[in-house]
């Protein structure tokens, strides 16, 4: 039975775009209808495969943005200009379009309310996507676990899910932004990259035995995980997922 379940997750399925949501100038969320979708856990990802008219195929992996109980499967994609897949997904895809998908994939970088907390989420850029799935799961479950998101973006216009995060901030979750390249007039928040000093200010006390999930570019992830370890976070309670220039 276990082998059949794995085989099912690795089977390519048709996915139909039900809705396209513009998150930023370079980022779109696609809500998908996937026949026979087996369900997922917050933090997992899928593979997307596109096939050109001449038969050429390209595939990339994208984190799932939706909570397990959300009605549609959502992925959020940042456009990489010289990429093979993201320019279509984040720029050209429209409702009714179809492509292939397989998953869910991954069992390490996942969280559900039964795992407990407090929950420290650290994101850089589009690394916020799987963390948003965790936040949405937390909200749908009505959990009272403390959640804190430290989110690094180039500018305020680059903040993915900005309106949703603004609405959630203070409603059981604390959202801490740092803008690394430009800040709007009157900005009073952080304006530097995530480093050991910033984490020392923001992280939950180690006495609370928090769970930490860190996702973003390799440099951010490695630096943040080392800094959390130096603060006394238990290595087994620091989960990381990194991405680099994959060609999109």
CATH number for 175? 3.40.50.80
Evaluate whether 90 touches 26 at the Cβ level (below 8 Å).
yes
pLDDT of residue 104: 97
Last residue of a domain, one of 83, 105, 127: 105
Q: Is residue 133 part of a domain?
A: yes
The token pair that represents 72 in the structure block: 């549609």
H-type alpha helices, 10-127: 86-87
The answer to whether residues 19 and 130 belong to one domain is: no
Indicate if 117 and 100 belong to the same structural domain.
Answer: no
Instruction: Please report the pLDDT score of residue 50 as a whole number.
Output: 96
Q: β-pairing, 27-34 with 45-51?
A: unpaired
Looking at the fold, whether 74 and 15 belong to one and the same domain comes out as yes
Q: Are residues 131 and 100 in the same domain?
A: no
- Any idea how long the chain is? 248
The answer as to whether 196 is a domain residue is: yes
Please identify every stretch of the chain with a pLDDT value under 50, giving residue numbers as ranges. Answer: 1-4, 245-247
The H helix count followed by the E strand count for the chain is 6, 11
Whether residue 194 sits in one domain with residue 74: no
150 inside domain = yes
Give the separation between CA 122 and CA 241, rounded to whole angstroms. 11
Same domain, yes or no: 161 and 200: yes
pLDDT on residue 245: 46
DSSP assigned state of 237: G
- Clarify whether residues 147 and 185 are in a common domain: yes
Q: What is the CATH number of the domain that holds 21?
A: 2.40.30.10
Q: What is the pLDDT of residues 64-117, one digit of tens each?
A: 999 998 989 999 999 998 899 999 999 999 999 999 999 999 999 999 999 998
- Round to the nearest angstrom and report the end-to-end CA distance of the chain: 35
Tokens describing residue 247 = 């060609």
Residue 46 lies in a domain: yes
**Residue of 117, 151, 116 lying closest to 131 (CA atoms):** 151
Which domain-ending residue is among 105, 131, 156?
A: 105
Identify whether residues 118 and 214 lie together within a single domain.
Answer: yes
Its pTM stands at 0.93
Which three-class secondary structure state does DSSP give residue 105? strand
DSSP state letter for 149: E
**Number of compact structural domains in the chain:** 2
Of 105, 134, 161, which marks where a domain is finished? 105
Same domain, 24 and 67: yes
Please indicate, yes or no, whether residues 122 and 229 belong to a single structural domain of this protein.
yes
Which residues have C-beta within 8 Å of that of residue 140, sequence separation ≥ 6?
67, 69, 70
Domain of 98 in residue numbering reads as 2-105
229 lies in the same domain as 117:
yes
Question: 60 with 158, same domain?
Answer: no
| φ and ψ of 207, to 5 deg | -60, -20
Residue pair 189/159 in contact (Cβ under 8 Å)? The answer is no
């Amino acid at each position: 039975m276990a082998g059949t379940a794995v085989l099912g997750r690795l089977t390519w399925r048709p996915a139909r775009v039900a809705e396209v949501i513009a998150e930023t100038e370079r980022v779109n969320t696609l809500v998908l209808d996937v026949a026979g979708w087996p369900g997922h856990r917050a933090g997992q990802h899928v593979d997307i495969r596109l096939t050109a008219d001449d038969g050429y195929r390209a595939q990339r992996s994208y984190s799932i943005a939706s909570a397990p109980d959300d009605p549609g499967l959502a992925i959020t994609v940042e456009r990489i200009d010289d990429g093979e897949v993201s320019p279509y997904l984040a720029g050209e895809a429209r409702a009714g379009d179809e492509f292939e998908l397989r998953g869910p994939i991954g069992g390490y970088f996942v969280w559900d309310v039964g795992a407990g907390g407090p929950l420290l989420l650290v994101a850089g850029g589009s690394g916020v996507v799987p963390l948003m799935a965790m936040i949405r799961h937390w909200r749908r479950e009505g959990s009272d676990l403390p959640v804190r998101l430290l989110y690094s973006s180039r500018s305020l216009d680059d903040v993915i899910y900005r309106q949703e995060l603004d609405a959630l901030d203070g409603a059981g979750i604390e959202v801490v932004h740092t803008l690394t390249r430009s800040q709007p007039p009157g900005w009073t928040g952080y304006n530097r990259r995530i480093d050991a000093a910033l984490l020392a200010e923001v992280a939950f006390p180690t006495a609370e035995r928090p769970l930490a999930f860190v996702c973003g570019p390799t440099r951010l992830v490695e630096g943040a995980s080392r800094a959390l370890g130096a603060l006394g976070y238990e290595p087994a309670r620091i989960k990381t997922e990194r991405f680099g220039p994959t060609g999109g």
